[in-house]
């Protein structure tokens, strides 16, 4: 089995946000693959539905043997185990786990689209990504994370904590 490099975004804006991120990191490390790198934590204004609490966000890099659909299914199981209930789009959540990149794969299935289709539009994704992998090239846009961040129109506050 070959190892794949996946970038995963963690987010929480309900309850004990740091604890939810910590529990998610432990579950990801146990069930998905070993964490090789992690960004700082960032407090970020809610995106999409702005009438809710701020998020804590973090990006992890993992080495995984899981295929993209298996990895996404496992992340959804971790979300459910940590109390995630999907009631409204962009609504508050205990934990949100998204695959940003999986190697340099461009892929779409019923459960996941890779790379994540909104990376280039969201500073709360690009800033922690830039911290740990500034020269990573987006496989669709063929631009580095640093370039995408410089071009990003999103102006919501993203604050390292």
What is residue 73's predicted lDDT score, i.e. its pLDDT?
97
93 phi and psi angles, rounded to 5 deg:
-155, 150
Contact between 10 and 57 (Cβ < 8 Å): yes
- Closest among 68, 142, 155, 50 to 110, alpha carbons compared: 68
Can you list the domains of the chain with their CATH numbers? 4-160 (3.30.70.560)
What is residue 16's predicted lDDT score, i.e. its pLDDT?
93
**79-98: average pLDDT:** 78
Instruction: List pLDDT tens digits, range 1-54.
Output: 799 999 999 999 988 999 999 999 999 999 999 999 999 999 998 877 667 789
Contact between 101 and 6 (Cβ < 8 Å): yes
CA dist 33 and 24 (Å) reads: 12
- Whole-number Cα distances in Å, 5 to 44, 79, 104, 147, 153: 25, 21, 9, 21, 28
Question: Known catalytic residues?
Answer: 84, 93, 96, 98
- Hunting for tokens 């459910």 — which residue is that? 80
Q: What is the pTM of this model?
A: 0.94
Does the pLDDT of residue 155 top 70, yes or no? yes
- The number of angstroms, rounded, from the C-alpha of 44 to the middle of its chain's C-alpha atoms is 13
**131-155: average pLDDT:** 97
- Closest among 145, 142, 130, 128 to 11, alpha carbons compared: 128
Give 16-21 contacts, CB < 8 A, sequence gap 24+: 17/55, 17/56, 18/56, 20/82, 20/94, 20/95, 21/56, 21/58, 21/95
User: Hey, which residues does 107 pair with through a beta bridge?
Assistant: 114
- Closest among 71, 41, 44 to 59, alpha carbons compared: 41
Instruction: List pLDDT tens digits, range 44-83.
Output: 988 776 677 899 999 999 999 999 999 999 999 999 999 7
Does the pLDDT of residue 89 top 80, yes or no? no
**102-117: average pLDDT:** 97
């Amino acid at each position: 089995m070959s190892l794949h490099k996946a970038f995963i975004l963690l987010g929480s804006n309900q309850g004990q946000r740091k604890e939810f991120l910590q529990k998610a990191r432990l579950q990801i490390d146990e069930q998905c693959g070993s964490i090789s790198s992690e960004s700082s934590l960032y407090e970020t204004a809610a995106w999409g539905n702005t009438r809710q609490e701020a998020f804590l966000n973090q990006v992890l890099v993992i080495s995984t043997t899981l295929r993209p659909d298996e990895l996404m299914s496992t992340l959804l199981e971790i979300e459910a185990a940590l109390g995630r209930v999907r009631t409204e789009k962009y609504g508050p959540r205990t934990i949100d786990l998204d695959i940003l990149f999986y190697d340099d794969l461009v892929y779409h299935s019923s459960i996941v689209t890779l790379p994540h289709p909104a990376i280039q539009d969201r500073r709360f994704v690009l800033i922690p990504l830039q911290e740990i992998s500034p020269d990573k090239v987006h496989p669709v846009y063929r631009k580095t994370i640093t370039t995408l961040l410089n071009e990003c129109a999103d102006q919501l506050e993203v604050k390292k904590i």
